[in-house]
Structure 1
Amino acid sequence: MAKQKKQPRPKAETPKGFRDYFGHEVTERQEMLNRIAEVYRRYGFDALESSGVETVEALGKFLPDVDRPNEGVFAWQEDDDKTWLALRYDLTAPLARVYAQHRNDLPTPYRRYAMGPVWRNEKPGPGRFRQFYQCDADTVGAPNVAADAEICGMLADALETVGIPRGDYIIRVNNRKVLNGIIESVAELQKQMTFPEGLSERGQREFETLRTRLIASTDNVMRTLDKFDKIGDRGVRELLGTGRKDASGAFIDGLGLPEYVADGFLAFLHAKGETNEVTLQRLREVVRYSQEGLQGVNELEEIATLLARQGYGPEQIIIDPSVVRGLGYYTGPVFEAELTFEILDEKGRPRQFGSVAGGGRYDDLVKRFTGQEVPATGISIGVDRLLAALRAKGRVGGTAQGPVLITVMDRDRMGDYQKMAAELRGAGIRAEVYLGNPKNFGNQLKYADKRDCPLAIIEGEDEKARGVVTVKDLVLGKALAEGMSHEEWKEQPAQEEIARGNLLAYVQEKLG
C-alpha cells in the first residue's frame, strides 16, 4: 500500500494587501470612531449598520483599478440561484440600497452615519490595503445646499474633536456643475467665434458635434485636471491637446481638444482668489455662458454664506476650483478635507500629509433602485489615514497601558486572587489574574512587562496572614531599576506594602 503523502502545514502569514491590528491600534481606532460618532449624533444623525455583503447588482459600478478595470470587488457566485455577491467596497452604495428598500419606514430626510471595514480588490502598495475602515455620514432626501453646508461644518467639527486643530486642516469645496458649465461655455464661445452671424444648418451640426465631443471627454478631462498639482499648467495643456512625454520619456496621447478649451479649463483651475468672494467672481466669468455653471457658482456662494453665519472661517473651509477628484461621481457640491502640516516620507523628506476625507452630492445613486431621483449628500472619512496623521504628529501612538496584574503565589488560593480582580473591575479598573504557570515568579513579572502592566499585586502566605499585599509600581520600577542592586531596588518606592483593605483606594490613586 502506497504511503500517503503528508500534507504541508499552512503558512502563518497575512494575505497580500491585508494586515493585522493589535491592542493599542484597535483601541486608538475605536476611541477615534467614538469621538466622531458623538459629533455625528450631536448633529442629529442616527447609526446604521448594514450588511458587509451586497449583491453585485446592488453595488453597481465597480471601483476601477488601474491595472484591472472593473475588478474592484471581492465577488463570488451562489451555487443555488447563481446570484453574484460581493464584499462592500464603500458605505455609500449599501446606503442607497437600504434607503430604497426601507424608504416607506424611514423619515425624509434620512440622516445616518455608518462606520466599518470595506474591501477593495485592488493592487496593494505601501500604505494601500485591501481592507480599511471608513466613517461616513449622509443625508438622503434633502435637495437644498444647506445640507451640503451642514456636512462641511460637521466634518470640521469631527476633525477638531479627534485632535486636528484649526490651522492643521482645510476643507476645500467645489461643484460639478461649475465644471459642466465650463464645457458649455467654451462650446458657446467657439460658436460665437466661428459663427458670428449666427448658425447655419451646417454650422448647427458642427457646433453640436463639438459640444458632444466635449461632453464625451468629461471624465478624461477630469482625470487630466486632477494631475495639475504634479504636472502644472504646461502638462495639463499638453494632455488636453496633442499629448506629452512623461518623466520616463514615454509619450502620452492627449485628448486633442482645441487650445481655447485648454484656456477655459486652466482659467477654472486658477480661479481661486485670496477670498471666497474673489473666487466666486472669477468663476462667474469663466462659466458666464452656462446656466448650469452659474447655478453651481450660486450654490457655492450659498454654502460659503451659511458656513460663515455658523462661525466657520476661511482658515477652515474655502471655495477651491482645483478640487477635481471625485467630480465624475458627484452631481453637485464636492468636498475634500486636507491636512496641511508636514511629515517626513520614507526617505526623510518633508511633504504635506494630504487628503483624509472626501464627499459631495450624489443625486443619482438611489435612482438606480427607484427610478426616481433622490437627492443625497455625504462625507467619508478615511479612518486609517487620519490615525496615521495623528501618529505622525505624536497625538496618538506608543503602547497602551495594560491591566493591573494580580500574581499567583499559591494555586490553592485562586479564589482570593479572583476576588481582588473583581473588586478592581467593579471600580472600572482593568485587571487580570495571571493564568499561566505560576511556578516561576520571574515569568509572571516578565509577562507583566510584556503586557505593559502598570502595577503588579502580590499576596503570598505571609502577606495573607498579616492582612497586607505588596504592590509593585512597574512603570516607576523601570525608570529606577537601571544601575541599582537588587537590595537597593527593594528599598525604593516602586514597591510598597499596604493593608489588603486599602487595595482599591491605593490602586485608584496610583493610576490617577
Structure 2
Amino acid sequence: MSKPGRPKARLPLGFVDAPAATVQERATAIDAILATYRQFGFDPLETPAIEYLDALGKNLPDEDAPDEGVFALQDDDEQWVALRYDLTAPLARYVAQNRQDLPTPFRRYQYGPVWRREKPGPGRFRQFYQCDFDTVGSASMGVDAEACALLSAALTAVGLGPDQHEVRVNDRKVLTGILARSGVDDAPKQLEVLRSVDKLDRLGRDAVAELLGAGRTDPSGDVTAGAQLDDAQIDLVLRFIDAGSGATTRADVVAALAELVGDDPVGREGVDELSAIDRLLGGSDAMPQVVFDPTVVRGLAYYTGPVFEAALTFETLDEKGRPRQFGSVAGGGRYDDLVHRFTGQDVPACGASIGVDRLLAALRSQRADRQEAIGPVVVTVMDRDRLADYQSMVDDLRAAGLRAELYQGTQSFQKQLKYADKRAAPVAVIAGGDELDADPQVVQVKDLVAGAERSKEITDRDEWRTDRSAQQSVPRAELVAAVRAIVDGEAR
C-alpha cells in the first residue's frame, strides 16, 4: 500500500504568520489604545468569533452564495454560521439579547481578530485585528463628536502627533439627499453609489466615475459592474466629492454641502448634524485634526448618519520605494438601524474601529530603525551536574520580574551563545563548575547586544575568539542587579 502524502507547509491565501516582534508590537499598541478607551469611560466586552450568518447584517444568507464575503459553514443543525466580519454586528446582537439588563446608553470597547473573505492584496489580509468602541442608546450628536475626539486621542496614545493624523468626517444623509434630488431614490442604488465613492482613495477619481456609470475593468481583468447613473447624476456626485477641496474650515465645508442639498429634508438633516458636531468640538478653530471631508462615505450598508475615518498625513513608501499616502487606519459612524433588525425597536448607536495591523504597518514604514523585540535572558549550561544551581539563577531573575530561561538543549557552549542570539537575548549568564565552587561564587554576565556591536569592529579571528569586552564577572549575589542594569539599558 502506498504511504499517504505529506501535507505541504503553506499558508491559506490572504493570511500571514505573526512572529514575536509583531505580536509584542501589536500588544503594546492595543494596550495604549484600550487605555484611552477606558479613560473616556468605556467598559470591555467579549463576543464569540462565530455568529449566525444572518446576525452579521451585511451578509444575509443568499440562496446561491450564502457565504459570500465571509468564512461560513453549516452547523450540525444546518444553520449557517460564520467568522465575524467585524465587531459591530456582534455588538448589535448582544445588545438585542441583553438590553433589559444594560445601562442606557451602553458604552463598550472590544478588540480581537476579524475575518473577511475578500480578494487579498498588498497590506490587505483576510484576518486582522480591530479595536472598537461604541455607544448604544443615545441619539445625541455629542456621541459623534466624542467619537472623533477619542479616535484622535487613541492615535496620539500610540505616538502620532496632531500633525501626523486627521479624523475625516462626513454625513451619509448629505449624499442621500443629493442623490434623491437627482432622481436616485432607490436605497440599493444609493448604496452602490456610496460604495463606489468609498473606493476613491484606493482607485482615484476617474475609476470612481467609471464605477458610477457603466462599470470598470481593473488591470487584472476583473470586471466590476457600475451603478448605471447618467452623466448628469455622475457630475453631481463628483461635485459632492469636490465640495471640500477648497475649504479651509469645517464651517466652509458645511456651507458648500448646504448649497448642494438645497431643500431636500434628509440632506438638510445631514448638514445640521455636521454643524452640531463642529459646534460640540468647540467650533472650527478647535481640534484642527478633525476635518469635514465629503469623500468619506464608508462602504458598509449599516451606517445611517455621520461617518468618520482616521488617516495618517505623512507619506510612506510602497513596496517599490515610491512615496504614497497610507490612507485610512480607522473608521466608524452612526448606525441607528442595526439593533432594530433584531428587536424592531429604534436603538441609536455610534462607534468606530481602529485597524491595528494597518496602523502598525504605517508606523513601521515611517521608522527605518525598527527595534526588534527583546528576548529573555539565557542562562547557559557549562556543567550538567550543576543544573540545580543554574535553575536557581533563573528563578532569581524571574522573581525580580526579568524574563529568563535555562538552556534546555544539549549543544556546545558556543552553540548555546548562537541560540541566545537567535532568541534576541540581551544577556547570557555563564558559570562553570570552578566559578560555582569558589567562595564567594561568581558568574559571568555577557551583554550580547554590546558584544554584537563590538564584533563588527574586530577583523582578526583570534581577537574575536578571545574578546571579553562585553563580559563582566560579578558575585553570584549581585547577578540580578547586573542583569537588570544591562536589560534596562537595552530597553532604552
**TM-score (normalizing by structure 2):** 0.90
Say whether 1:28 aligns with 2:25: yes
Segment drifting more, 288-297 vs 36-45: 288-297
Say whether 1:130 aligns with 2:104: no
User: Following TM superposition, by how much is the alpha carbon of 1:232 offset from its aligned partner in structure 2, in angstroms?
Assistant: 6.7
Which residue is 1:265 aligned to? 237
Which residue is 1:277 aligned to? 251
Correspondence list, 1:164-179, <5 A:
164-179=160-175
**Identity within the alignment, %:** 53
Shift in alpha-carbon separation, 1:504–1:287, aligned structure 2, 3 A:
same
Q: Confirm or deny: 8 A CA contact 1:172 1:337 kept in the other structure.
A: yes
Q: Confirm or deny: 8 A CA contact 2:302 2:338 kept in the other structure.
A: no
User: Following TM superposition, by how much is the alpha carbon of 1:70 offset from its aligned partner in structure 2, in angstroms?
Assistant: 5.6
The one-letter amino acid of 1:339's match is L
Say whether 1:326 aligns with 2:299: yes
Which residue is 1:195 aligned to? none
Q: Secondary structure at the match of 1:136?
A: strand
Q: Confirm or deny: 8 A CA contact 2:148 2:167 kept in the other structure.
A: yes
Shift in alpha-carbon separation, 1:237–1:307, aligned structure 2, 3 A:
same
User: Following TM superposition, by how much is the alpha carbon of 1:119 offset from its aligned partner in structure 2, in angstroms?
Assistant: 1.4
C-alpha root-mean-square deviation of aligned residues, in Å? 2.8
The one-letter amino acid of 2:192's match is N
Deviations 1:344-393 (A, max 9, x none): 21222111111111100001111111111211111011111001011101
Unaligned runs of 5+ in 2: none
2:464 & 2:264 partners in 1: Cα distance?
83
Q: Confirm or deny: 8 A CA contact 2:58 2:302 kept in the other structure.
A: no
Deviations 1:150-191 (A, max 9, x none): 1110000111111222222111100011112212334xxxxx
Which residue is 2:326 aligned to? 353
Which residue is 2:315 aligned to? 342
1:469 & 1:63 partners in 2: Cα distance?
66
Shift in alpha-carbon separation, 1:238–1:503, aligned structure 2, 3 A:
closer
Larger Rg: 1
Correspondence list, 1:397-476, <5 A:
397-438=370-411, 440-466=412-438, 467-476=441-450
Counterpart pick for 2:193 among 206, 209, 221: 221
Counterpart pick for 1:156 among 152, 156, 160: 152
Deviations 1:114-147 (A, max 9, x none): 1111112223333222211111111111111110
The one-letter amino acid of 1:90's match is D
Q: Confirm or deny: 8 A CA contact 1:337 1:356 kept in the other structure.
A: yes
User: Following TM superposition, by how much is the alpha carbon of 1:267 offset from its aligned partner in structure 2, in angstroms?
Assistant: 2.9
Unaligned runs of 5+ in 1: 187-209
**TM-score (normalizing by structure 1):** 0.86
Deviations 1:318-353 (A, max 9, x none): 111121233743100000111121112122211111
User: Following TM superposition, by how much is the alpha carbon of 1:312 offset from its aligned partner in structure 2, in angstroms?
Assistant: 4.7
Counterpart pick for 1:505 among 475, 481, 487: 481
Which residue is 1:308 aligned to? 282
Deviations 1:291-330 (A, max 9, x none): 221111111111112123698522x111111212337431
User: Following TM superposition, by how much is the alpha carbon of 1:224 offset from its aligned partner in structure 2, in angstroms?
Assistant: 3.7
User: Following TM superposition, by how much is the alpha carbon of 1:71 offset from its aligned partner in structure 2, in angstroms?
Assistant: 0.9
Q: Confirm or deny: 8 A CA contact 1:176 1:327 kept in the other structure.
A: no
Q: Secondary structure at the match of 1:103?
A: helix
2:333 & 2:363 partners in 1: Cα distance?
25
Say whether 1:365 aligns with 2:338: yes
User: Following TM superposition, by how much is the alpha carbon of 1:492 offset from its aligned partner in structure 2, in angstroms?
Assistant: 4.3
1:61 & 1:247 partners in 2: Cα distance?
28
Q: Confirm or deny: 8 A CA contact 1:62 1:72 kept in the other structure.
A: yes
The one-letter amino acid of 2:482's match is Y
Q: Secondary structure at the match of 2:364?
A: helix
Q: Secondary structure at the match of 1:308?
A: coil
Which residue is 1:118 aligned to? 114
Say whether 1:298 aligns with 2:272: yes
Shift in alpha-carbon separation, 1:310–1:249, aligned structure 2, 3 A:
closer
1:290 & 1:320 partners in 2: Cα distance?
20
Structure 1 runs of 4+ aligned residues shifted over 6 Å read 230-235, 242-254
Shift in alpha-carbon separation, 1:344–1:407, aligned structure 2, 3 A:
same
